[in-house]
Amino acid sequence: MPKLLMAMDQGTTSSRCVLFDKRLNIVSSAQLEFSQIFPKEGWVEHDALEILQTQMESARQAMAKAGVTGKDIAAIGIANQRETVVVWDKRTGRPISNAIVWQCRRTAEACDELKKAGFAPIAKAKTGLVVDAYFSATKLAWMLENVEGARKLAEEGNALFGTIDSWLIWNMTKGQVHATDYTNASRTMLFNIRELKWDQEILDWLKIPAQMLPEAKPSSHVFGMADLFGTEVPIAGAAGDQQAALFGQCCFTPGEVKNTYGTGCFILMNTGEKAIEPEGGMLTTIAWGLDGKVEYAVEGSVFVAGAAIQWLRDGLSIISQASETDELAQSVENTAGVYMVPAFVGLGAPYWDQYARGIISGITRGANRAHVVRAALESIAYQSYDVIKAMETASGLAAKAIKVDGGASRNNFLMQFQADILGMEVIRADIAESTALGAACLAGLATGVYSSKDEILENRRMAEVFKPKMELEDAERLLAGWKKAVARCLEG
In the complex, which residues of this chain contact ligand ADP (CB under 6 A)? 262-263, 306-307, 309-310, 322-323, 325-326, 406-408, 410-411
Closest separation between CB of residue 8 and ligand ADP, Å? 17
Q: How many CB atoms lie within 10 A of CB 416?
A: 19
> Which of 208, 119, 101, 212 shows the shortest CA–CA distance to 158?
212
Shortest separation between residue 406's beta carbon and ligand ADP, angstroms: 4
What does the DSSP 8-state code read for residue 406?
S
Cα 352 to chain center, whole Å?
20
- Shorter beta-carbon distance to ligand ADP: residue 173 or 411: 411
Closest distance of CB 407 from ligand ADP, Å: 2
Question: Rounded to the nearest whole angstrom, what is the least distance from the CB of residue 30 to ligand ADP in the complex?
Answer: 17
The nearest distance, CB 418 to ligand ADP, in angstroms, is 12
How far is 92 from 89, CA to CA, in rounded Å? Answer: 6
* Residue with smaller CB distance to ligand ADP, 203 or 322: 322
Shortest spacing between CB 422 and ligand ADP, in angstroms: 18
CB nearer to ligand ADP: pick between 69 and 310: 310
Say if residues 421 and 226 touch (Cβ distance below 8 Å).
no
Residue pair 161/87 in contact by the 8 Å Cβ criterion = yes
> Among residues 219 and 435, whose Cβ is nearest to ligand ADP?
435
3-class secondary structure, 216: strand
Cβ distance to ligand ADP smaller for residue 309 or 397: 309
d(Cα 388, Cα 258) in Å, to the nearest integer? 10
**∠ Cα 271 276 279 (to 5°):** 120
Strands (E), 34-138: 45-46, 73-80, 86-89, 99-100
Tell me the DSSP string of 416-458: HHHHHHHTS-EEEES-S-HHHHHHHHHHHHHTTSSSSHHHHHH
Do strands 159-162 and 86-89 pair parallel, antiparallel, or not at all (unpaired)?
A: antiparallel
How far apart (Å, rounded) are the C-alpha atoms in residues 148 and 365? Answer: 63
Q: State in angstroms the smallest separation of the CB of 241 from ligand ADP.
A: 10
Helix (H) or strand (E) holding 483: helix 472-489
E-state strands within 281-419: 283-290, 293-302, 339-341, 359-361, 402-405
Residues 6+ apart with CB under 8 A from 259: 265, 266, 267, 384, 388, 402, 403, 404, 405, 406, 409
CB 359, min distance to ligand ADP, A: 20
Nearest residue (CB) to ligand ADP, 348 versus 406? 406
Quote the crossing angle between the two packed helices 369-395 and 306-314, to the nearest 10°.
160
**Residue with Cβ nearer ligand ADP (55 or 325):** 325
Which residue number, 98 or 435, has a Cβ lying nearer to ligand ADP?
A: 435
Of the candidates 218, 274, 273, the one whose C-alpha atom is nearest the C-alpha of residue 445 is 218
Q: Measuring CA to CA, which residue among 74, 288, 325 is closest to residue 165?
A: 288
Identify the three-state secondary structure at position 224. strand
Contact 351, 281 (CB under 8 A): no
Residue nearest to ligand ADP (CB): 407
Shortest distance, position 261 Cβ to ligand ADP, whole Å: 6
| Beta carbon nearer to ligand ADP, 101 or 307 | 307
Supply the minimum distance, in Å, between the C-beta of residue 317 and ligand ADP.
Answer: 14
Minimum separation from the CB atom of position 427 to ligand ADP (A): 17
CB of 260 to ligand ADP, least distance (A): 7
Nearest distance, CB of residue 138 and ligand ADP, angstroms = 24
Main-chain dihedrals φ then ψ at residue 491, nearest 5 degrees:
-90, -45
Indicate the residue among 231 and 310 with the shorter CB distance to ligand ADP: 310
The CA-based dihedral angle spanning residues 409, 410, 413, 419, taken in that order and rounded to the nearest 10 degrees: 40
